[in-house]
A and B are shown apart, each in its own frame.
Chain A
């Protein structure tokens, strides 16, 4: 398209008049259209970075470095404070010598245990030798919590009758200090050595020791009490399977007690659960408060047969089921146990079942592989709960033609709940027989009315803290690996905050543990980490792929940008052409003039 050029004045027309519009032009080409199209193109190009930033995937930044650091070292180290008091030893052994030998024994025993934070770095032992004539002590760093000379004497230990509870209370009143474990060794009494571990944080050994060589026996027993009882909780390798702890991710446990009547047409049993809840369960729940938030539910179910079979045995005069039947005992089809409304999605429910067999199978007893009948008639399944088979009294002889309603008697209920207590402890990895047989001898363990002794609670809370921290570290590690492997996944702010709080709680737990202060930061850390990992927005199929992004934005921008680009190119080409024409004409004019 050529411009309409203004009238050329006549005096120019004596120049050669063949002005070929295809190859020459007389006026300078205009730049308006070029400037217009180039400015549109330029603004489009300028806007592109803004578009890119606006479709960027929002990812809240996670502290990957800190997470990997925590994951490589998720350990808690607890300080161990022990003291040993030797009373009435007339040979006056030196406390420092005793301290060294006990420490040797302790390090020997802890070297092959893999418990978390078991006195690895921070171990302090104080030894006192207290006799009528003198009292010598090793010098611990802080004196205030340790034993004062003369507080206990041999007469307090009445050797004739075994009043263990009384001795326990007495020692507690003298020695009762948090975080310090004590063993009192008394020379006196009858023959042999008797060792008792109390309900609080102390133990005592009573024996008559005359020669010096028996001192090493005492030393090894003291060390064994310290390591095997107070540090390891009386178990060989910690928990049942090493890492399983029956606590939910939100630090809640729901205990669900179920009374199952297998055949209500024979008899129907009910129980006074309210009483049991108030008298037996309430102290236990209170005592476990720092470890987990426990709630209790109960129900009575009917028509709940079991799925395994039993046979009549004349010798035992009862129907027998063996340990081979135990895995099939719980009939998940008919036993509708998990119907709790109080439990949230991430709480842990432990089921405790009392099974009342039908008349066709009553009494029902469990035969152990050793050939004996089980005394408890019960079993547990780790991380699930426990079952006790309770036979109604006099069921072998009774004629039941009509269904009869009964309530379980108080004594029966008490007995059943003692078995439940044993099972509950077993689920946490603690044994319930009152005797521990160690390498150096046997120890009597005093049972506590609250279900757990204080040293057992210490062990549990340490193990829980370790487990929670470990779980928190692995969860955060998995989350960071997942997030890094999906670079186009949206990570919301909430997840970033949860991770940050979790890391802070974990650090707090680590620092508190080394000071000996055991509280619930580790549990909180784990709970926050699980909230972050299980956040419902992290769904891998819904991340924002590149094809998706392209498919959304290209219909808006591709056609427009194509047109603008083409227009700019065309104008540029035209400008160049016209410019070439103009310069050609100018050259011609110059040549001719």
Chain B
């Protein structure tokens, strides 16, 4: 969910591009980034609907959280926040008890197995203070009473481009490759309070596993659990015999399909025939329309039209003018 207040801001010198570093090397709004909720759709209500799954029936699959009992979910929230709230669109607030409620309902309905919440706002740790569902791990960039700061200012764009917590999280992941088995505890302990200018706080009381044993790919990297397929399911003779019987029926179906297609084509030809039998007026009108469509320099036509219009107007309006100003008053008065 991106409120797009930066990417689509009229004052953004690089429209639809969001950088995380002043060297502008990486455009975070790249080609294969899919944003499901943009702009005005980012509301507290929609956020809670996504979490709990309570959508209207017509909402498409791309806007739903399609998780089940075995899913691991990463929830990353960043923006402005305060004591027990997070700000949405500068006008609404997400309260910590609403978030805790939504997570509790998700757990009741088995919508996740493990959930990692990362919050990067001022007083971030207060946002998950009311959680009490098992299987949830949460880390915030600052504690109650502390602010979270941005990392550096991009003087070209004119605003700070990334927050400190996010910057150091990205830096941690840039150092890893796919086969490294970094654990979550190494991620959580990599944050330096002096560099961040705030103290990160994480709560593990609701999470059963030890952080040293959990790999970061548990939540990051879209990694799937896989099982090898040992054998294919083969039948021996019966399949071949049934196959030879099938083609007869199959070919009938193909013929029917071909007939269907043919009938469509016939309809089209009959349509054109009908046209020839129309009255001359409609024929001319259709021809006129066809000609119009063929005109390429349409704007020159429009200009000609304007030029022609004035004298035409004068010719038509003149008698009317005459009547209204000279003749009518004499009749009336």
- The residues of A with any CB-CB pair to B shorter than 8 Å are 165, 240-241, 243-244, 275, 278-279, 307-309, 323-324, 326-330, 332-334, 338, 340, 343-345, 366, 368, 374-376, 378-384, 386, 388, 415, 418-419, 421-423, 425-426, 431-433, 447-449, 451, 474-475, 478, 481-482, 533-536, 538-542
CB neighbors of A among B233-262 (8 A) = 233-239, 242-243, 246, 250, 253
Query: CB distance B48 to A382 under 8 Å?
Result: no
13 A-B contacts (beta carbon < 8 Å): A165-B236, A324-B179, A327-B226, A376-B232, A379-B229, A382-B70, A382-B227, A447-B235, A474-B110, A481-B108, A482-B108, A535-B54, A539-B45
Would you give the shortest CB distance from A444 to chain B, in whole angstroms? Answer: 12
Q: Which of B66, B230, B243 touches A376 (beta carbons < 8 Å)?
A: B230
Q: Is the Cβ of B178 less than 8 Å from the Cβ of A380?
A: no
User: Do residues A333 and B239 form an inter-chain contact, with CB atoms below 8 A?
Assistant: no
User: Residues of B at under 8 Å CB distance from A?
Assistant: 32, 44-45, 48-49, 52-57, 59-62, 64, 66, 68-70, 98, 101-102, 105, 108-110, 178-179, 217, 221-239, 242-243, 246, 250, 253
Minimal beta-carbon separation of B163 from chain A (angstroms): 24
A330 cross-chain contacts in B, Cβ below 8 A: 222, 224
A419 touches B229 (CB 8 A): yes
Cross-chain contact A333 with B32 (CB below 8 angstroms): yes
Do the beta carbons of B235 and A419 come within 8 Å of each other? no
Contact in complex: B223, A328 (CB < 8 Å): yes
Other-chain residue from A309, A334, A379, A448 in contact with B235 (beta carbon distance below 8 A)? A448
Check B231–A422 contact: CB distance below 8 A: yes
A210 to chain B, nearest CB (A): 33
A540 with B229: in contact, given A345-B59, A478-B105 (CB under 8 Å)?
no
Q: Provide the residues of chain A in CB contact with B229, threshold 8 Å.
A: 374, 376, 378-380, 386, 388, 419, 422-423, 426
User: A278 with B238: in contact, given A422-B233, A539-B48 (CB under 8 Å)?
Assistant: no
* CB neighbours of B98 from chain A (8 A): 540-541
Contact partner of B225 among A381, A426, A538, CB < 8 A? A381
Point out the residues of chain B lying under 8 angstroms from A275, CB to CB. 250
Closest partner residue, chain B, to A380 (CB atom): B227
A278-B253, A449-B239 given; A244·B70 CB < 8 A: yes
State whether A426 touches B227 (Cβ < 8 A): yes
Bound CA–CA A93/B106 (angstroms): 59
Nearest-CB residue, chain B, relative to A378: B229
Q: Answer whether A536 and B56 are a contact pair too, CB < 8 Å, given A165-B238, A279-B246, A478-B105.
A: yes
Who on chain A is nearest to B247 by CB? Answer: A279
Q: Which single member of A244, A433, A482 contacts B105 (CB below 8 Å)? A: A482
Knowing A308-B178, A334-B32, A432-B233, the reply to whether A383 touches B226 (Cβ < 8 A) is no
Q: Is A536's CB under 8 angstroms from B49's CB?
A: yes
Can you name 15 extra interface pairs (CB under 8 A) apart from A332-B222, A418-B232, A419-B232?
A165-B236, A243-B69, A327-B223, A328-B178, A333-B32, A378-B229, A380-B226, A382-B70, A422-B230, A422-B231, A422-B232, A423-B229, A447-B235, A536-B56, A541-B48
At the interface, is chain B mostly helix, strand, loop or mixed? loop
Q: How far is the CB of A538 from chain B (nearest CB, A)?
A: 6
Question: Residue of A at shortest CB range from B108?
Answer: A478
Residues of B within 8 A of A366 (CB): 228
Q: A244-B69, A449-B242, A536-B49 are in contact. Are A384 and B224 (CB under 8 A)?
A: yes
Chain A proximity of B72: nearest CB distance (Å): 12
A328 to nearest B CB, angstroms? 6
Asked if B243 and A279 sit within 8 Å, CB to CB, the answer is yes
* Chain A residues within 8 Å of B108, by CB: 474, 478, 481-482
Measured in the bound complex, the distance between the Cα atoms of B57 and A241 in whole Å is 30
Check A327 against B61 for contact (C-beta < 8 Å): no
What residues of chain B lie closer than 8 Å to A540, measured between beta carbons? 48, 98, 101-102, 105
Within 8 Å CB of B44, what residues of A? 541
- Which chain B residues border A381 with CB–CB below 8 Å? 224-227
B48 and A379 contact, CB distance less than 8 A: no
CB-CB under 8 A from B222, the residues of chain A are 330, 332
CB-based contact B231/A375 at 8 Å: yes
A482 to B70, CA, bound (A): 23
Known contacts being A374-B228, A380-B229, A449-B242, is A539 close to B68, with CB within 8 Å? no
List chain B residues, Cβ under 8 A from A344: 57, 61
Looking at B32, B55, B69, B228, the one whose CB has the most chain A CB atoms below 10 A away is B228
B233 touches A421 (CB 8 A): yes
Chain A residues within an 8 Å CB radius of B102: 540
The complex places the Cα of A487 from the Cα of B61 at a distance, in Å, of: 32
Contact partners of A244 in chain B: CB under 8 A: 68-70
Q: Is the CB of B55 within 8 A of A345?
A: yes
Residues of B within 8 A of A482 (CB): 105, 108
**A117, B239: Cα distance in complex, Å:** 35
Give CA–CA (A388, B44) in the complex, Å.
42
Report A-chain residues with C-beta under 8 Å of the C-beta of B68: 244, 383
Give the shortest distance, in Å, between B141 (CB) and chain A (any CB): 25
The distance from the CB of A327 to the nearest CB of chain B, in whole angstroms, is 5
Please report the C-alpha to C-alpha distance between residue A374 and residue B233 in the assembled complex, in whole angstroms: 15
A376 with B231: CB separation less than 8 A: yes
